[in-house]
Amino acid sequence: MSKSSSAPTRTSKRARRAAERRAAASPPLGTSAKGRSPIVLITAIVGGIGVAVLAALILLQPGQSAAPTTGLTTPTIPTPVALAAERTLGKADAPVTLEIWSDFQCPVCGQFARTVEPALVGTYVTPGTLRIVHHDAAFQGAKSTSSYDESVEAGAGARCAADQGRYWPYQDWAFANQSGENEGAYGATRLTAIATAAGLDIGTWQACVATGTAQKAVRTETTQAVAAGVGATPTMRLNGQEIVGLRSVPDLSALIEAAAAAPGG
């Protein structure tokens, strides 16, 4: 009697447990075999695409740049600033003056600043023979279709650096980090990184750049340069003698020494 009355109960419990195991192993309705809903996956993919598009739009805003703000190239030979006065380097009574019209985006200007100018500074500026004066000739930015002119903005940043007595460190860092023309090397964010590396008070520098006064001064000096016959960068005038394009250190050294030895030099 006891066996026949308990058998149905044991069978019923086993059946229920088997059913529960089958139910636990089966994915809920609308869920993949790996436990992920196709609807959730599609939503995640669409959301990811939206974030990528938004990021691209932000990077393409005028004045912004995809260029990195870290990992800047350090200038190989920093310009000594003991004899600096704004955009002039050297003693006021130096017998030879080298005026240079340049554009921060001009690749030849960059080559001159990185390789030729340091040699001239060490050999002629420091001893008192040569004085170097920089002028703006912001031509390259005019070739861009963007309203943000990288040549003008880089030049404006240099003028605001000069207000803090840091023009030459800024120009060293700017020329050391050229990267194509009108391609974002001097976007607003990267110029801030360059100014930071040059040791500027960034709050003061940014306030100066934001006024637009420095940009206006760059454009005005560029117009004056054209009126004075400057049509390419770099253009140099050594005691009035015009030199267009890049010259080697030996060539310029010969001209400097000849100018210094000339009557009145």
Give the pLDDT of residue 21: 59
Give the pLDDT of residue 72: 95
Digit-coded pLDDT (tens) for 237-256: 999 999 999 999 999 999 99
Q: What is the CATH number of domain 84-261?
A: 3.40.30.10
Token duo for residue 56:
């691209």
The answer to whether the beta carbons of residues 111 and 148 sit under 8 Å apart is: no
Digit-coded pLDDT (tens) for 123-134: 999 999 999 999
Digit-coded pLDDT (tens) for 91-148: 999 999 999 999 999 999 999 999 999 999 999 999 999 999 999 999 999 988 889 9
Give the pLDDT of residue 86: 96
Q: How far apart are CA 193 and CA 173, in angstroms?
A: 10
Q: How far apart are CA 113 and CA 24, in angstroms?
A: 74
Q: Where are the domains of the chain?
A: 84-261
Whether the model pTM is above 0.75: no
Give the pLDDT of residue 162: 98
Segments in the chain forming alpha helices (H): 2-25, 38-59, 107-111, 117-120, 150-162, 167-176, 188-197, 202-211, 213-227, 249-261
